Structures are given as structure tokens and as C-alpha cells.
Amino acid sequence: MEDLLPRPRVAERAPGAFGLSPGAAISGPAGLVDAVRLALPVLDLRPGSHAAIQVAEDPSLGPEAYGITITAAEVRITAADRAGAHYAGQTLRQLLPAEAFRAAALPGVAWALPCGRIADAPAFPWRGAHLDVARHFFPKREVLRLIDLLAAHKLNRLHLHLSDDQGWRVESRAYPRLHEVGSHRDRTVTGFHGEEPAFDGIPHGGHYTLHDLAEIAAYARARAVTVVPEIDVPGHSSAILAAYPELGPLPEKRYRVLDRWGISPAILSPLPATVDFLATVFDEIIGALGPTPYFHIGGDECVLDDWAASERVRAYQAELGLDSPSELHAWFLHRLADLLAERGVRAGSGTRPS
């Protein structure tokens, strides 16, 4: 039990072991039982009465908390919620032989759990990982695999970076050029910062359909992981503007999906048409993800030169009674945060403009 990861608050070993086999019975509230079974797929536990593996709900434990008592005769799990039950199952998985992490049960494995008592609750409510699919696209199967790894380590957030200068990665039915144009770049820079730029000459692209995104979110939710989408605006917008240049502050400018790293001067205009565009895209993404408590809107590393150069943007800034592009940048992010709040979603953002 000393090898459990993360280390639980209480882990006490006792003599003996509990033996089980694939197809063993498990009983308790259906939602909690399902969460434990999902953490132990190789064992194919079957819901049933008078089971040696018993799950009970105990809200007093607190969110995501659980307790496990293992004797030679039975396994008792208490959990505050579905997440706690899933983490209890993941703990049992770590206590089993390494074959518990395979996709199918192997013959001849002695499935046994050491006797003892375990109790755990999270030290931090936000425990997650960031996956930047905007710059380097990963197929859906790799995202689902990452969710499995997060769940196995009791991490509960997947920050999914869906757009940046180097690519737009989600279908839009309202604005299809986003994924038709913005999801592909001709090449990618190679080498180190400060060197003469060199490129691989290999086209790079890909995007998730809205159904893909719904599948990812449902798969994550079942494993106590919340997907946090990120659409980075108003800067980092080369891919958006390559598809819809009219959303930029200078109508005569044309853009391409960026093939290198660094801070780009490409920026969306802060005008009402851009807000309407983003509201529609946000609705599409939120509609696919389902209940979404958080939505990241970036907001950092914004070069405001094109705002200052745009007569339309300067006039809009004056109309709002703002004194500078920096104030307009803050206003724009607050406007998007309010827009998301109207949809019951909390906005997250980066740092100040460049």
C-alpha cells in the first residue's frame, strides 16, 4: 500500500488477502457501482446482491473522497459521490497485479487484494493536465487515452487547447471555414529558438467533429474528469482570420495559419460582429460538451497595434468611453466573460496584452 499513487491520507496494511476473479459480484447504488466497475474494466465486475464487494454512499466524507476496507472475506467501499467511487476503484486497481492495467484479463493471474484500510480525499480541488492540440493535433483515440491516464492518477481536469495561431481544432457548423481552412497549415518550423528558421515541409492538420467533442466529454465525465475547452482570443487568432479575415480590425489584411511559434500580431477586432461570432462558436462547443463549468478564452500575448491602426476600432473605443487599446482589451474580455456567464459558464483567461 506504500506504493499507491497519489499517496492516500490513510493506508494501513493488515494480514491476509482478499481473492477475487473476473466476473465477481459487486453491490450498492447503481451510479457508484458503475464508477467502480469502470475503473476495473479487466475484471468485468457484475452488479448483484449479496456481493463480496460492497459500495455505500457517505456524503459526509466530502467531494471526491472515499474509504476502503479489505478483509479476507469482503471489500467495503464508502464514497461521497461518483468521483470518490471511481477513485476507490482506481486504488483497488493499483493494489492488484500489474495485469489489471491490460485491456483484457490474462489466464493464470492470481487476482488478490491485500487486506487493510485506506481513506483518501483530495488536497486540491483542481488537479489536471493541459493538452495543446492546436499546435500539435492528436487524434481522438489519443485524447481518450490521456483521459484514462488522468483518471488512473486521480486527476480531474483536462484543459483542451482547441485554437491558436497554428490551428483550429473543432468543427463549426455555423462557420465551416474554421475547420475547413483553419485546421491545416502547410508546414511547421523546426530547430531551436534563435536559429535561422527551417521548416519540415509536411502539411499538418486535423479537427474534432462536434460529435467527437461530445464523445470526449462524456468519456471524461464518466471517469470524473472535466474537460475545460480553450478558444484563445482576441490574439493568437491567425487560424480564425485565415478562415474569416473580415473578423480582423484591418479589412485589407490577409492571414494564413501560422507555421512557426512565437507571438503573432494577428488579432480579432473587438467589434460587435466578432462578439456575435464568438457567441455562436461558444454555443456550439458548449452544446457538444454538455454541462461545462469552465471555458478558457486566453486573452494573453495580444499585440494591439492593429487595433490602434484601425479607424473602426478607434471609433468603437471612443464610443465606449475608453481611453486606450489596453482598456478596450480588458473590456472585450469582460464582455466575453459576461457572455459565458449568461450561459452558466465561468470564463478563464491568461495575462495582459503585449
Residue 351 grid coordinates: 495575462
| Gap between the Cα atoms of 237 and 264, Å rounded | 8
Q: Which of 86, 179, 236, 296 is catalytic?
A: 236
Tell me, yes or no, if 179 is annotated catalytic: no
Q: For the segment 79-128, what is each residue's pLDDT rounded down to a tens digit?
A: 999 999 999 999 999 999 999 999 888 999 999 999 999 999 999 999 99
Q: Which of 99, 259, 300, 301 is catalytic?
A: 301
DSSP string, 306-324: HHHH-HHHHHHHHHTT--S
Q: Which of 164, 230, 232, 306 is catalytic?
A: 164
Tell me, yes or no, if 301 is annotated catalytic: yes
Tell me, yes or no, if 276 is annotated catalytic: no
3-state secondary structure of 244: coil
Q: Which of 300, 305, 308 is nearest to 330 (CA)?
A: 300
pLDDT at 354 over 80: no
| Gap between the Cα atoms of 138 and 142, Å rounded | 6
| Gap between the Cα atoms of 233 and 104, Å rounded | 44
pLDDT given at position 189: 95
Label residue 184 by pLDDT band (50, 70, 90).
very high
pLDDT given at position 350: 67
Q: Whole-structure pTM over 0.85, yes or no?
A: yes
DSSP string, 8-27: PSEEEEEEEEEE--TT-EEE
pLDDT at 173 over 90: yes
